[in-house]
Amino acid sequence: MNSQYLMIALGATVLSQAVQAADVLVPVNLPESKPGQYVHEAPTLDDLMADETINPELRKVILKGYDMFMNTQQFRGEYVFNDMNCKSCHMGEGRMNWSGPVWPAATTLPDYRGKNKHVNSLEERIAGCFSYSMNGRPPAYGSDDMLALAAYHQWLAKRAPVYERNIAGRGFSHLGKQIPGDVSYEKGKAIYESNCAICHGSDGAGQRKDGKVVFPPLWGDGAYNWGAGMTRVFTAASFIKNNMPLSKPGSLSDDEAWNVAWYINSQERPQDPRFTGDARETREQFIGFHKHTRYGTEVNGRVLGQHDNTGEKPFLKPDNLKPRTFE
Ligand code: HEC
Ligand code: HEC
């Protein structure tokens, strides 16, 4: 095991039953990297401030990208229509290995992406998380906001080899993709009630304090939509195993992580922007993705995703999610 520490800034917002401290360091036991893998140490904000070679104008733009990443809610109703910030899923400011570090997109793109079946740029990859994970509408390609976010990603990749794809701790999938055969809704519910509901709520809606999201929702209108990577049970299971419960990451067994991921992803959430009007049909059309989700399948007598609810978003699919071809 590879012990690292993750700073969790809960501050005064923490509920009395949960963690009491302000900024606390919690030990995180992370998987080992495999032989031959590239292990990246992403620079920190302190490194950025201390770097005298960096042009002050560039530093300003990177800092703006950082601020957008950490507090994406400032764009609520513009780019974001749910309760998420980028950092809600990309822990440790998007730097943490095994928690979906975001910098690999800056060194491995442009590349073909199966999800939208064309060659994607870094901006398009960022746009993907806006459209699905944030249930939103991405900033325009080439805009100041997109440039700032891209600059933050690129800077986190400092010194990483370009087009190296064998990267330790990338994404969220180290538990593998195969869902255990004995996974159960009821077991997942029990684990959820005793380990997660205290922060995320029994109804999965998360918690707010003074209008600010303190604990993000896991399902319902404020959560990631049916097209988001986190709806894949294996992705949620690995994320949860390494990062949750926030106060005690790594404390669940693999089996507990699978069951609770199964339970969370058996709940309703805003529609997949690729919806054709029929959830079973949409599932089949995007089966490469949805074979890992419960979308379009029957759970407790209802077909998940068979509804027109797009959450707070007044549209289904953002206009700037366009296919691209090189005919
Ligand atoms: C609800 C959780 C969630 C939120 C919120 C979220 N993401 Fe993601 N993000 C994911 C998942 C899941 C993946 C896919 C990781 C994998 O491949 O397993 C991903 C992948 C990425 C990648 C590609 C990383 C790589 O390895 O190539 C980038 C870049 C990224 N996200 C940026 C963002 C940005 C910027 C935001 C905010 C606008 C954001 N994400 C918000 C869940 C989220
Ligand atoms: C002490 C409070 C706390 C507990 C307990 C907790 N979480 Fe979280 N969870 C958070 C916070 C806060 C975030 C967002 C991280 C951030 O913004 O830095 C989060 C993020 C998440 C996310 C990704 C963002 C989203 O909303 O989709 C998932 C999934 C998740 N938690 C699942 C769980 C599960 C499953 C459990 C129980 C095993 C759990 N959490 C226990 C506080 C908690």
Instruction: Report the 10 Å Cβ neighbour count for 321.
Output: 17
Q: Does the residue 80 lie in any domain?
A: no
What is the pTM (predicted TM-score) of this model?
A: 0.93
Q: Does the residue 16 lie in any domain?
A: no
Q: What's the rounded mean pLDDT across residues 169-182?
A: 94
pLDDT of 75 above 60: yes
Question: Tens digit of pLDDT for each residue in 19-64?
Answer: 443 455 666 667 889 999 999 999 999 999 999 999 999 999 999 9
Q: Does the residue 161 lie in any domain?
A: no
CA-CA distance, 82 to 195, in Å (whole number)?
23
Q: Does the residue 210 lie in any domain?
A: yes
Instruction: Report the 10 Å Cβ neighbour count for 145.
Output: 16
CA-CA distance, 312 to 214, in Å (whole number)?
19
Cα of 137 from ligand 1 centre, angstroms:
15
Ligand 1 close to Cβ of residue 149 (< 6 A): yes
Ligand 1 close to Cβ of residue 171 (< 6 A): yes
pLDDT of 7 above 50: no
How many domains does the structure of the chain reveal?
A: 1
Q: Does the residue 242 lie in any domain?
A: yes
pLDDT of 278 above 60: yes
Cα of 256 from ligand 2 centre, angstroms:
15
Joined together, the tokens standing for residue 80 give 């974001």
On average, the pLDDT of the chain sits at 91
Instruction: Report the 10 Å Cβ neighbour count for 65.
Output: 25
Cβ atoms of 300 and 277 closer than 8 Å: no
pLDDT of 231 above 50: yes
Structural domain boundaries, residue 296: 185-303
Predicted confidence band of residue 173 (pLDDT cuts 50, 70, 90): confident
CA-CA distance, 239 to 218, in Å (whole number)?
13
CA-CA distance, 163 to 185, in Å (whole number)?
40
Ligand 1 close to Cβ of residue 133 (< 6 A): yes
Lowest-pLDDT choice from 16-25, 75-84, 213-222, 281-290 = 16-25
Contacts of 34 (CB under 8 A, 6+ apart): 168
Question: Tens digit of pLDDT for each residue in 235-258?
Answer: 999 999 999 999 888 899 999 999
Q: For residue 260, which atom of ligand 2 is closest to its CA?
A: 35
CA-CA distance, 272 to 291, in Å (whole number)?
14
Q: Does the residue 288 lie in any domain?
A: yes
Residue 232's CATH number:
1.10.760.10
Percentage of the chain lying above the pLDDT 90 cut: 84
CA-CA distance, 48 to 61, in Å (whole number)?
12
CA-CA distance, 200 to 202, in Å (whole number)?
7
> Amino acid identity of 64?
K
Q: What's the rounded mean pLDDT across residues 274-299?
A: 97
pLDDT of 16 above 50: no
Predicted confidence band of residue 18 (pLDDT cuts 50, 70, 90): very low
Q: What's the rounded mean pLDDT across residues 259-288?
A: 98
CA-CA distance, 19 to 229, in Å (whole number)?
29
Cα of 34 from ligand 2 centre, angstroms:
27
Q: Does the residue 195 lie in any domain?
A: yes
Q: Does the residue 30 lie in any domain?
A: no
Protein residues with CB under 6 Å of any ligand 2 atom: 18-19, 85, 87-89, 91, 195-196, 198-200, 215-218, 223-224, 230, 236, 239-240, 244-247, 252, 260, 264
Q: For residue 10, which atom of ligand 2 is closest to its CA?
A: 12
CA-CA distance, 132 to 255, in Å (whole number)?
27
